[in-house]
């Protein structure tokens, strides 16, 4: 019996040179395991075993002889040599013996394992279990995807591929196996790291998944960091929305990301029509002018909404028709850019009221006859703008005689940006000069009580003009019919022949015989008609500047002369001391 078993084994080894039809190797179509029929032995390899590059993988060969027992099997297994490297093959020694008889290259890409198994008992066995285990190493540079392990048999030369213990053959079926070389996504890149767009524009980003032969799903999810700046669709098309910078992110199914920085600039604009500016007055800033109207077109030819403002709001333009730069501020500043235009601004002259200083103070501007004109100072309302200055002087009507003269603007000017208006009531008054007297008229002798003034004899005084020269005129009592009843001061007037001098009232002391009562000191001569108090003349001229003129000053001196009071005038030299 033992010899018989050995003979069978020898025969089985000799029949191991099998010529079996080769099953085609494809990675796309995987054969399905077929359910064993009553008269078949089925030999099946593991399918789609997932592996990674550089790893080892074990493939089990399962024999199903439950429907058709057998005692031996001879086989060839072709495998993809560019993916797998054969390490070993072993059998389940509890029931079977045998192994790998040879491994050789069939072609540049295909290698073949030649092997056999025999029943340990030499009898037909009915089993359904792995009887062979093959170990392979997945090459480091193995292509990703499915690599097949395919059975083949040379039935023509070796019909006893599957044999029985009595030397017969039985039908068989081989189910190929395979491994799946997994290549996970390790990263993703974009064709651009930076992208510059104008609002409304677009560009398309391309994502490349690494490695190129990945077995993972290559679907990319696109997202924008700020979709108010830029949006992206599921094809990677980026559309610029509004000015700013944001990231566009491409994300793989396993979470790998790549980013592109997108910078969006506003769309250009052009002023189709400049706005209209309201007029202002010199001295007003441009921001006091109102802009209206005007139109602006975007690069997309759409009419752009927004507002206008002057480029320099604080600018002060000269009087006249002036050009000023205006800036358009779009209502959507992220989408559209600003643009400039020129607006025409009508600037009116600023009217200034010129008021002589004395008039401003409620005084009468003028001088006294004989004085020189003083400077005609003035105030301005409103004040000049900035550092502007006045030039020239005010003037008055010609003439030196007493009277009034209209004041005019003379050569006064503030420049082309102004108009000047002289304040109402601007006149220059020349007052009449006041004569002086040396000596003053006087009554030397006491008179009878009850006599009328026209009967009183007096000594005429001497009237002097502003230069100390004799001034012709007439002395007369103010009330010549007045009766002198007591000692006292009585009014006399002096009427100068020169109309530039005022008529003067003079106190003259008249003593009545037998009346020794005290008489007050005569007052200083006064003009009969009041004159306005003027300011603006130059008092350093005329009589006040003449040291030779003598002004009488009444001074009352008390002296005991023969037991009576004596009233006298003392001359005081007036002028430069």
Q: What is the pLDDT of residues 298-343, one digit of tens each?
A: 999 999 999 999 999 999 999 999 999 999 999 999 999 999 999 9
Backbone angles phi, psi at 563, to 5 degrees: 75, 20
For 523-556, write each residue's pLDDT tens digit.
Answer: 999 999 999 888 866 554 433 333 322 223 222 2
- The pairing of beta strand 96-105 with beta strand 172-175: unpaired
| 574 in Cβ contact with 550 (< 8 Å) | yes
pLDDT tier for residue 31 given thresholds of 50, 70 and 90:
very low
Q: What percent of the chain has pLDDT over 70?
A: 85
Fold of the domain spanning 269-348: Immunoglobulin-like (2.60.40)
Confidence at residue 75, expressed as pLDDT on a 0 to 100 scale: 86
Confidence at residue 467, expressed as pLDDT on a 0 to 100 scale: 94
The CATH class for the domain spanning 187-265 reads mainly beta
Average pLDDT, stretch 133-152?
A: 92
Count Cβ neighbours within 10 Å for each residue of 507-546 and write b for 16 or more, e otherwise: bbbbbbeebeeebeebebbebeeebeebbbbeeebbbbee
pLDDT tier for residue 161 given thresholds of 50, 70 and 90:
confident
Question: From CA 535, how far away is CA 356, in angstroms rounded?
Answer: 11
Token pair recorded at residue 214? 């990945």
Token pair recorded at residue 290? 């109102």
For 478-503, write each residue's pLDDT tens digit.
Answer: 999 999 999 999 999 999 999 999 99
Average pLDDT, stretch 286-308?
A: 96
Confidence at residue 233, expressed as pLDDT on a 0 to 100 scale: 97
Q: What percent of the chain has pLDDT over 90?
A: 67
pLDDT tier for residue 158 given thresholds of 50, 70 and 90:
low
pLDDT tier for residue 157 given thresholds of 50, 70 and 90:
low
Provide the 8-state DSSP code for 442.
B
Average pLDDT, stretch 354-369?
A: 85
Question: From CA 64, how far away is CA 138, in angstroms rounded?
Answer: 28
Where do the structural domains in the chain lie, given as residue ranges?
2-181, 187-265, 269-348, 351-431, 436-530+547-573
Average pLDDT, stretch 32-40?
A: 56
Report the run of H or E that residue 345 belongs to, with start and end. strand 339-348
Question: From CA 6, how far away is CA 13, in angstroms rounded?
Answer: 11
Confidence at residue 26, expressed as pLDDT on a 0 to 100 scale: 28
The 3-class SS string of 280-334 reads: EECCCCHHHCCEECCEEEECCCCECCEEEEECCCCCCCCCEEEEEEEEEEECCCC
**Higher pLDDT among residues 565 and 161, named by residue:** 161
Token pair recorded at residue 260? 């592109």
Average pLDDT, stretch 463-487?
A: 95
Which are the contacts of 171, defined by CB distance < 8 A and separation ≥ 6? Answer: 37, 39, 40, 41, 68, 162
Which are the contacts of 212, defined by CB distance < 8 A and separation ≥ 6? Answer: none
Decide: pTM greater than 0.85.
no
For 9-25, write each residue's pLDDT tens digit.
Answer: 333 333 332 322 222 22
Which are the contacts of 387, defined by CB distance < 8 A and separation ≥ 6? Answer: none
Average pLDDT, stretch 287-292?
A: 96
Fold of the domain spanning 2-181: Immunoglobulin-like (2.60.40)
Average pLDDT, stretch 468-486?
A: 95
Confidence at residue 357, expressed as pLDDT on a 0 to 100 scale: 82
Q: What does each C-alpha distance from 66 to 35, 133, 168 come to in angstroms?
A: 12, 20, 17
Report the run of H or E that residue 154 belongs to, with start and end. strand 145-154
Closest C-alpha to 429, from 542, 530, 545, 536: 536
Confidence at residue 561, expressed as pLDDT on a 0 to 100 scale: 28
Closest C-alpha to 23, from 225, 177, 167: 177
Backbone angles phi, psi at 14, to 5 degrees: -65, -35
For 75-110, write each residue's pLDDT tens digit.
Answer: 889 999 999 999 988 877 776 777 777 787 777 788
- Enumerate the β-bridge partners of residue 100: 115
Confidence at residue 2, expressed as pLDDT on a 0 to 100 scale: 34
Count Cβ neighbours within 10 Å for each residue of 297-331 and write b for 16 or more, e otherwise: bbbeeeebebebebeeeeeebebeebebebbbebe
Which are the contacts of 494, defined by CB distance < 8 A and separation ≥ 6? Answer: 435, 437, 461, 463, 473, 474, 475, 503, 504, 506, 525
Token pair recorded at residue 477? 């009592």
351-431 is a CATH 3.30.70 domain: no
Question: From CA 153, how far away is CA 73, in angstroms rounded?
Answer: 11
Using DSSP's 3-state secondary structure scheme, residue 226 falls into coil
Confidence at residue 115, expressed as pLDDT on a 0 to 100 scale: 83
Q: Roughly how many angstroms between the first and final C-alpha of the chain, as a whole number?
A: 177
Token pair recorded at residue 310? 């002057």
187-265 and 269-348: identical CATH topology: yes
């Amino acid at each position: 019996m033992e010899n018989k078993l050995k003979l069978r084994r020898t025969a089985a080894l000799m029949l191991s040179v099998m010529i079996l039809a080769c099953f085609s190797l494809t990675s796309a179509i995987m054969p399905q395991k077929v359910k064993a029929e009553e008269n078949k032995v089925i030999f099946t390899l593991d399918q789609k075993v997932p592996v990674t590059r550089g790893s080892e993988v074990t493939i089990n060969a399962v024999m199903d002889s439950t429907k058709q027992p057998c005692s031996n099997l001879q086989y060839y297994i072709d495998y993809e040599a560019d993916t797998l490297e054969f390490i070993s093959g072993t059998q389940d020694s509890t029931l079977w013996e045998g192994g790998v008889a040879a491994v050789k290259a069939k072609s540049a890409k295909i290698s073949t394992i030649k092997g056999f198994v025999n029943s340990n008992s030499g009898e037909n066995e009915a089993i359904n279990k792995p009887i062979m285990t093959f170990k392979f190493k997945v090459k480091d540079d193995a292509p990703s995807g499915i690599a097949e392990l395919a059975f083949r048999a040379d039935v023509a030369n070796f019909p006893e591929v599957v044999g029985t213990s009595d030397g017969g053959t039985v039908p068989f079926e081989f189910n190929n196996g395979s491994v799946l070389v997994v290549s996970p996504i390790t990263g993703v890149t974009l064709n651009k790291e930076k992208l510059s767009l104008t609002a409304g524009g677009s560009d398309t980003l391309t994502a490349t998944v690494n490695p190129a032969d990945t077995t993972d799903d290559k679907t990319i999810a696109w997202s924008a960091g700020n979709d108010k700046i830029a949006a992206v669709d599921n094809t990677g098309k980026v559309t610029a929305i509004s000015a700013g910078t944001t990231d566009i992110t491409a994300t793989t199914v396993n979470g790998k990301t790549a980013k592109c920085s997108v910078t969006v600039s506003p769309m250009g604009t052009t002023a189709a029509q400049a706005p209209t500016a309201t007029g202002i007055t010199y001295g007003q800033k441009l921001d006091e002018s109102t802009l209206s109207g005007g139109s602006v077109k975007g690069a997309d030819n759409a009419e752009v909404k927004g507002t206008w403002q002057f480029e320099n709001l604080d600018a002060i333009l000269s009087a006249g028709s002036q050009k000023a730069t205006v800036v358009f501020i779009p209502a959507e500043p992220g989408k559209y850019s600003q643009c400039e235009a020129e607006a025409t601004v009508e600037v009116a002259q600023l009217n200034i009221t010129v008021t002589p200083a004395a008039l401003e103070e409620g005084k009468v501007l003028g001088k006294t006859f004989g004085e020189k004109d003083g400077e005609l100072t003035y105030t301005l309302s409103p004040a000049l703008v900035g550092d502007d200055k006045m030039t020239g002087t005010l003037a008055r009507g010609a003439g030196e005689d007493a009277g009034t003269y209209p004041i005019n603007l003379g050569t006064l000017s503030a420049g082309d940006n102004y108009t000047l208006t002289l304040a109402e009531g601007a006149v220059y008054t020349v007052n009449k000069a006041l004569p002086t007297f040396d000596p003053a008229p006087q009554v030397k002798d006491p008179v009878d009580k009850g006599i009328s003034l026209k009967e009183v004899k007096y000594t005429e005084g001497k009237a002097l003009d502003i230069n100390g020269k004799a001034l012709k005129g007439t002395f007369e009592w103010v009330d010549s019919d007045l009766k002198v009843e007591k000692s006292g001061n009585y009014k006399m007037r002096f009427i100068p022949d020169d109309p530039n001098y005022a008529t003067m009232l003079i106190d003259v002391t008249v003593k009545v015989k037998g009346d020794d009562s005290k008489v007050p000191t005569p007052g200083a001569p006064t003009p009969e008609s009041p004159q306005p108090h003027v300011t603006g003349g130059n008092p350093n001229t005329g009589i006040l500047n003449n040291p030779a003129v003598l002004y009488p000053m009444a001074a009352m001196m008390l002296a005991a002369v023969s037991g009576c009071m004596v009233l006298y005038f003392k001359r005081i030299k007036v002028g430069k001391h």
